[in-house]
Structure 1
Amino acid sequence: MPAVNNLNAFLGAAVLGVIGAAGMFLVEQYRQNRVRHAMAQDLARLDQELSQVRRELNQLLSKKTRKTKGRNSSNRANSVASGTTIDDSNVESSDMEYFDVSDDEPDLGLMDLEQALNIIDVKLDSGSLHDLQDSLIELGDLGIEYPGNPELLWRLGKAHQKISEKSNVPSIIEEHISKGIQACSQALKLKDDSANIHKWYAILIGSRSDFVSLQEKISDGHIFKKHVDAALALCPTDPSLHHMLGRFDFEVASLKWYERKVAAALFGEPPNSTIPEALEHFMEAERLSNFDWKENKLMIAKCKIACGDYKEGVDWLQKASNCREGVAADDKVDAEVEELLKKYNSYR
């Protein structure tokens, strides 16, 4: 289902404070006032254009009405001579319908919204900060026209999350993650049977681990898993969801004893996952994905090594090293692959 670029955001989901956000680059700082200014300009321009269109349509309608009245007078005169009658009520009615400028056009509106969302989806997955900022502006514009639309809200959350990945300024990152969570939370209240809403809410919850307390991190871990499970139940063939759940299981299974004690003290029982469960999800993600996914191969290798299957683990590390176009082929992943290859080189 998802395109290759769609998976960039999932790779950085943070759970229990141990999954770091991936793909963070030093780029220009995004400022919210640019969005508000651009939205105000767009609304003013749209209002001017609509006013002009209304004036032109009124002029056309006035001319059409005058012509129709003249034609109807001639037709009535001819009908008297021929003995026939003509009902001219339908003429003016059809003319009025042709020039109807009412806003009540649900089918056309829906078509326009779908087309706009398709364009926004391409921009959200392009990886360009400029495209992400444009998407945020366009979603804001559409939000005025279609208030409370869950399809707009979860995309708004996705835009905020992906913009947060493009900054290394903590306050900017926290601001966008917070706004993204708010958008997806509202979307969930409106529609709770959408895999995309659950997925992006989970990603945003996982991404805020650097800004919350230990207790909140553990609580967020439960929220993260709950919504990934919900998304997976709605869309079981999404490889990114299996990868996300695999990451969760792997990190929970790797918790130190004192971390489990803290979780038990706060929640009565610690999170419970195993490395084999994590491996199962990573293998399913590998099966479902249609590209060479470097980070997923790395996680398979780490599971194999954790289970004592060193030779198979090294084989998967080599597969990861051979990936040149993987979506998670960043310096951090490359460095970990090479480090583990050196460490377990004797098992080749």
Structure 2
Amino acid sequence: MLGCVIHGQGDLRVEDLAAPVAGPGEALVAVRYGGVCGSDLHYWRHGGVGDFRLREPMVLGHEVVGTVLSYGGGGSGLPAPGTAVAVHPATPCGECPECAAGRRNVCRDTRYLGSAARTPHVQGGFAAQVVVPAGQLRPLPAGLPLRRAALAEPLSVALHAVRRAGDIAGKHVLVTGAGPIGCLVVAAAKAAGAARVTVTDLLPRALEYAVAAGADAAVRADVPSSPDWPAEVDAAVEASGVAAGLDTCLRLVRRGGVVVQLGMLPPGQSLFAGNLVVSREIELRGAFRFDGEFDEALALLAEQPRLDRLISAVVPLGEAESAFALAADRAESCKVLLDFGDDT
């Protein structure tokens, strides 16, 4: 079977892989769509993401949906073969203090599809078939097509970030960065009852996608004189992964407000306006991945067909490098999907 493998910085290959076989407690899934994530792009362009560096070839991908083929044994009570499913990409250890405290998303020994956080790396889901723990399968709600369901993983990230901001019902929320995650934060914030969501970005096309996701105002980050720039917001989610975005959040959030750092900042130290955190008693919180939000994401996607607009392209697996190049071009694209279907 074919899979999409990263061998090092700039070295992305579509190559033959051994067909996997499900063992006890595992499921074999025929992958149909896989979303190209910002972390996949970082592995391709930089050989790593954040502090996680490639040390061996790795199948990329953790935003995957498809159809159940078989189980390695049993399967009682699980989605029947032929069922359309989304794959939850995380397998927490269930034993560390974080898991015991109900914070499985920051498990210190988790396994996450397509991640170089540990060695050997956890191979990802960008392959025609993939074996995963059977408990990671989620059948799609009625009416949710596989194509839109491919947004479940990044929407889960967005839902978790909004949850970290606290109760935002009736409040004004700022989102810095209108990439795929930032746009989905918009949708998550509106679903949580935010009265107004303002999004900033440098790229006009990205701001158009943010409006499609439900933003009330979309402003150029480099045009602070815009009349849509807020004087103050109740909460902010930094989704750009750059220090300038964090600075904007800290300067615009009200005293005693909450800033959630969601975007992964560059490796090493990052300067930020720490004195504002002190003098205004701003709560600065991190948001990393997700846990139970995955099921919420699938339900929300079933209710919101408008989120189809965030899928800017669907590209056959054989043209994976072109798909990655398109996904990296934020002036043109939002979410790009790889198509692993038979017609590729």
More strand by share: 2
- TM-score w.r.t. the length of structure 2 is 0.27
More helix by share: 1
Larger radius of gyration: 1
